[in-house]
Amino acid sequence: MGCSLKPTEVIQSVLAGRTFQPAKAEGKAFAPVNIALCKYWGKRDTALNLPVTSSLSMSLGAIGAHTRIAPVDGPDQVWLNDEKLTDADPFVSRLRAYLDLFDPAQHYTIHTASDVPVAAGLASSASGFAALVLALDDLYGWSLDPTSLSILARLGSGSACRSIYQGFVEWQAGEQADGMDSYAVRLDADWPALRIGWIECSSAPKPIGSRAGMKRTVETSALYAAWPDQVARDLAAIKQAIAQHDFEALGSAAESNALAMHATMWAARPPVSYWLPETVVTLRAVWQAREQGLPVYATMDAGPNVKLLYLADDRERIRAAFPQLHEVSPA
Amino acid sequence: MGCSLKPTEVIQSVLAGRTFQPAKAEGKAFAPVNIALCKYWGKRDTALNLPVTSSLSMSLGAIGAHTRIAPVDGPDQVWLNDEKLTDADPFVSRLRAYLDLFDPAQHYTIHTASDVPVAAGLASSASGFAALVLALDDLYGWSLDPTSLSILARLGSGSACRSIYQGFVEWQAGEQADGMDSYAVRLDADWPALRIGWIECSSAPKPIGSRAGMKRTVETSALYAAWPDQVARDLAAIKQAIAQHDFEALGSAAESNALAMHATMWAARPPVSYWLPETVVTLRAVWQAREQGLPVYATMDAGPNVKLLYLADDRERIRAAFPQLHEVSPA
């Protein structure tokens, strides 16, 4: 519906006359990592990162990206976890391409510290772009509302729009061609006992990036046609489960959703496969533990690693069953 | 369309007045194993084994089931590969349930010899039921046409209807409620250079039988809704590839079809998973070999083992790359 806009036009519309006059010497912000319980997989607009379906995530409290940004006259200078990156680094070129949408003439010194291993598949780009947008807002004193910040973050990385918030967050897909109705909202719910951890199956680079994997799936997987129905079913079940603190309903819907996302990839041509043998080992261990009475469910993103969902009361049993678990949710 | 029939009514209709007077002391027959290039996955009628979609297979020449059947007064006596089975054996009870559809009062001595390991997931039930129907036809001198034999075999095991023929065989799904238009036909094509082998990933019993796995997938997998479209696309591509002897087109469509079938299972609730870590190891080895220039594709049925498709000219390179390969296609 409506007419599409270029990313620069979206930004101009969102900023609504706000300027690039620094309000302070340096902007600072933090944004949390988010883990999707109902996945974002497939774009209806690649320039604006507009999704085919809505999605729902859980933010990870104090785990995320801390970013400081200050204007400079010279070339950009980017530090990641206190290491200065070269201009050839893909992280730098992606940041620069994004900042070009705001003001191609303005360069910056940027420091980003990430609490999560980049290789963990813990959506470091989501927290990174959300923190960057929040830091720009701080630097320039824009005082944008969360919806506007979410739209700006989406232009950097789709799932970044969810990292504007803590708690349970729904990215509403929207219907408009300009994407002005495609942003995240925080659900009025909390569930302090819910825990997330992850098991590393590989730290090697992924054989295909998630953007490319998503694109090939949408373009070539016959099964992708059924993905929106899967999401509609899972999203409703997950929202109800969160409202009722029904862990089994949450876990089974989230696990099914993640497996179905990977299933759409297996049916792509050629197949998009992030799975390693260790992935199957881990999934089978989760199912076996569950059969033996331990309430634990798996979720996966576009990588080989497996995240576990469990409840705080089961933490010791979970740690005994999965000694290699990295606990990442708020303790 | 039309009205459904009971299996016994289908048999009466097919036999069209033929009797159960033995024409000889013993009926004898052979039927080949068939490997689906475009899979049968999902029933529209479980009593008559009517499929949701058409499927297409390749029969394996001299590899299959040899069956002898003779009427006896006493209880059934069943030998499988020269081993006498007890009445409690599931193979015996399934045979008996099928023979009850013909004449519950008649008992038999049955000897079946199978060329393939039962655990290999090489569709031993398909060749077994096809050989049984052919042996009954021989015993009673019915001289049924292949279409009638295919319908009878389908009532025992869906894919058995394809094992009535050698060569490339299409099981036409049909539309009628009584299934009288759901039978196999032999394609007017051959391709002597096409080879199939299999790699054993596990000989352990499957965690869930294919009938139950199929049923759960149809009933609970949101992605199954897209399976008929996948089949329509793959079936057309495979038929064209066979006609043109285009190995790359055949292999890529068959591999995609098999992965998509398993993908529909991953999206079932709970997931239907036949994959073991070794399955992923083998699939990745196939993809790696292909990247390195070796024309080889994978297909899988409802089990953890992987079948390879290749051409006779590449046989030595295939054997070098996959020393654990069991060659099963006509040499």
What digits encode the pLDDT tens for the residues B250-296? 999 999 999 999 999 999 999 999 999 999 999 999 999 999 999 99
Nearest by CB to residue A226, choosing from B223, B233, B278, is B223
Distance, in Å, from the CA atom of A216 to the CA atom of A223, rounded to the nearest integer, reads: 12
For residue B205, pLDDT over 80 is answered with: no
Q: What is the pLDDT of residue B331?
A: 46
Contacts of B278 in chain A (CB under 8 A): 277
Contacts of B221 in chain A (CB under 8 A): 260
DSSP string covering A81-134 = TTEEPPTTSHHHHHHHHHHHTT-TT-EEEEEEEESS-GGG-S-HHHHHHHHHHH
pLDDT band at residue B201 using 50, 70 and 90 as cut-offs: confident
Q: What is the pLDDT of residue A331?
A: 46
Query: Pick from A262, A152, A151, A173: which is nearest to A214 by CA?
Result: A262
Q: What are the counts of helices (DSSP H) followed by strands (DSSP E) for chain A?
A: 9, 13
In chain B, list all ranges with CATH 3.30.230.10.
7-186
Residues with pLDDT less than 50, chain A: 331
Neighbours of A98 (CB within 10 A): 18
Q: What is the pLDDT of residue B118?
A: 58
Peptide bond between residue A71 and the one before it cis (omega within 30 degrees of 0)? no
Q: What is the pLDDT of residue A122?
A: 62
Query: What number of C-beta contacts closer than 8 Å exist between A and B?
Result: 94
Does the beta carbon of A229 lie under 8 angstroms from any beta carbon of chain B? yes
Chain A contacts in chain B segment 278-307 (CB below 8 A): 278-281, 283-284, 287
Nearest by CB to residue B260, choosing from A255, A266, A275, is A266
The predicted model scores a pTM of 0.91
ipTM (interface predicted TM): 0.87
> What mean pLDDT do residues B10-18 have?
97
Contacts of A266 in chain B (CB under 8 A): 259-260, 262-263, 266
Is A260 within 8 Å of B229 when comparing Cβ atoms?
no
Considering the domain A194-327, what is its CATH architecture? 2-Layer Sandwich (3.30)
Q: What 8-state DSSP symbol labels residue B293?
A: T
> What mean pLDDT do residues B89-109 have?
94
For residue B318, pLDDT over 60 is answered with: yes
CATH class of B7-186: alpha beta
Neighbours of A48 (CB within 10 A): 23
Q: Quote the mean pLDDT of chain B.
A: 94
Under 8 Å CB-to-CB from B212, ≥6 apart: which residues? none
Is A277 within 8 Å of B273 when comparing Cβ atoms?
no
pLDDT band at residue B120 using 50, 70 and 90 as cut-offs: low
pLDDT band at residue B113 using 50, 70 and 90 as cut-offs: very high
Write down the residue that tokens 């299972």 correspond to. B265
Distance, in Å, from the CA atom of B171 to the CA atom of B161, rounded to the nearest integer, reads: 7
Question: Do the Cβ atoms of B139 and B103 come closer than 8 Å?
Answer: no
In chain A, list all ranges with CATH 3.30.70.890.
194-327
pLDDT band at residue B117 using 50, 70 and 90 as cut-offs: low
For residue B24, pLDDT over 60 is answered with: yes
